[in-house]
């Protein structure tokens, strides 16, 4: 992806059809592939008249039923509970807990834990499935004061593609990463799918200090690319734009990448790392808005 400082022509407003998979399929034609872009250097904006809230979770109820659902593989004729999360723990024990805000607001938040047991490496929840278009994702992360920096990346949010034609899994086209030790840094990773079905990583350092014991409020305004139309990603942190990039941002499969949030530390897959405390990160109030019908702002 490349930095883009040129705004795009406003697109015609589109009627949003997001009820079930049959509706999504209807929306999957050329109209739904139209994208709108924000003015460079400013956060993307949209009016309440055009945007549609398609997913949210304030983690207010301590019930797994709020976010556990069957994963949609992109080929099935059924889509169970379109507004629910799917469990992405991979290994027991699944460690999630709805707890009071560690910053003291009194509101409930979700605490994700990956045990440092030389086996576990993931505790995530995933949301599928949205039609192609433009979406605004909001999510907040709280890095506890006892967080132990690690030399390899820890993914806190990612947008993941589906299995490749040859049956292989692949890297997420987009990911927010907490990376490095002894001084961790925020990075945004983009992967490009090459003709030989390998991927090429580009790291985008984010000019945001990693501060422990404080909420980090992120907004990701994502216009998904198509084979003929470049996409765009605008990231804000605390209301200020920290990244604005354009180009291919997914693998142009039947569906755009699905959203996962929580903790994913792939370097723990094989174990062998030094003994340390369990890995914990807090998340709060997640929303996803469909902006496909919105003009650039």
Predicted TM-score (pTM) of the model is 0.77
Where does the pLDDT of residue 186 fall: very low under 50, low under 70, confident under 90, or very high at 90 and above?
very high
Residue bearing the bigger pLDDT, 20 or 290: 290
Tell me what the mean pLDDT of segment 135-159 comes to. Answer: 94
Q: Provide the token pair at 138.
A: 């909001």
End-to-end CA, the chain: 21
Where does the pLDDT of residue 48 fall: very low under 50, low under 70, confident under 90, or very high at 90 and above?
low
Q: How many CB atoms lie within 10 A of CB 60?
A: 12
Distance, CA of 147 to CA of 154 (rounded, Å)? 12
pLDDT single digits (tens) 230-244: 999 999 999 999 999
Q: Which residues of 152-174 are buried (b: 16+ CB within 10 A; e: fewer)?
A: ebbbbbbbbbbeeeeeeebbbbb
Tell me what the mean pLDDT of segment 112-127 comes to. Answer: 86
Residue bearing the bigger pLDDT, 87 or 239: 239
* Structural domains in the chain, sorted by start: 2-269+276-290 (2.60.120.200)
């Amino acid at each position: 992806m490349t930095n883009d400082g040129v705004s795009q022509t406003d697109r015609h407003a589109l009627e949003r059809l997001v009820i079930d998979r049959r509706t999504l399929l209807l929306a999957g034609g050329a109209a739904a592939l139209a994208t709108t872009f924000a003015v460079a250097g400013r956060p993307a904006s949209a009016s309440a008249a055009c945007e549609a809230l398609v997913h949210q979770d304030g983690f207010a109820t301590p019930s797994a039923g709020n976010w556990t659902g069957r994963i949609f593989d992109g080929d099935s004729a059924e889509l169970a509970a379109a507004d629910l999360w799917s469990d992405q723990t991979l290994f027991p024990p699944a460690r999630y807990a709805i707890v009071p805000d560690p910053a003291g607001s009194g509101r409930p938040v979700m605490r994700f834990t990956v045990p440092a047991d030389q086996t576990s490496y993931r505790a995530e929840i995933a949301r599928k499935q949205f039609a192609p278009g433009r979406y605004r994702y909001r999510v907040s992360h709280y890095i506890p004061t006892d967080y132990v920096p690690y030399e390899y990346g820890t993914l806190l949010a990612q947008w993941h593609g589906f299995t490749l034609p040859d049956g292989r899994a692949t890297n997420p086209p987009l990911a927010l990463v907490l990376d490095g030790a002894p001084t961790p840094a925020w990075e945004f990773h983009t992967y490009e799918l090459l003709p030989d079905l390998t991927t090429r990583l580009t790291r985008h350092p984010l000019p945001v200090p990693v501060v422990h014991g404080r909420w980090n409020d992120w907004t990701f305004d994502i216009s998904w690319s198509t084979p003929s139309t470049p996409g765009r990603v605008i990231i804000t942190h605390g209301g200020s734009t920290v990244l604005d990039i354009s180009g291919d941002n997914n693998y142009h499969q039947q569906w755009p990448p699905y959203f996962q949030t929580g903790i994913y530390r792939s370097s723990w897959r094989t174990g062998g790392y030094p003994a340390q405390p369990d890995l914990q990160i807090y998340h709060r109030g997640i929303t996803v808005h469909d902006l496909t019908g919105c003009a650039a702002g």
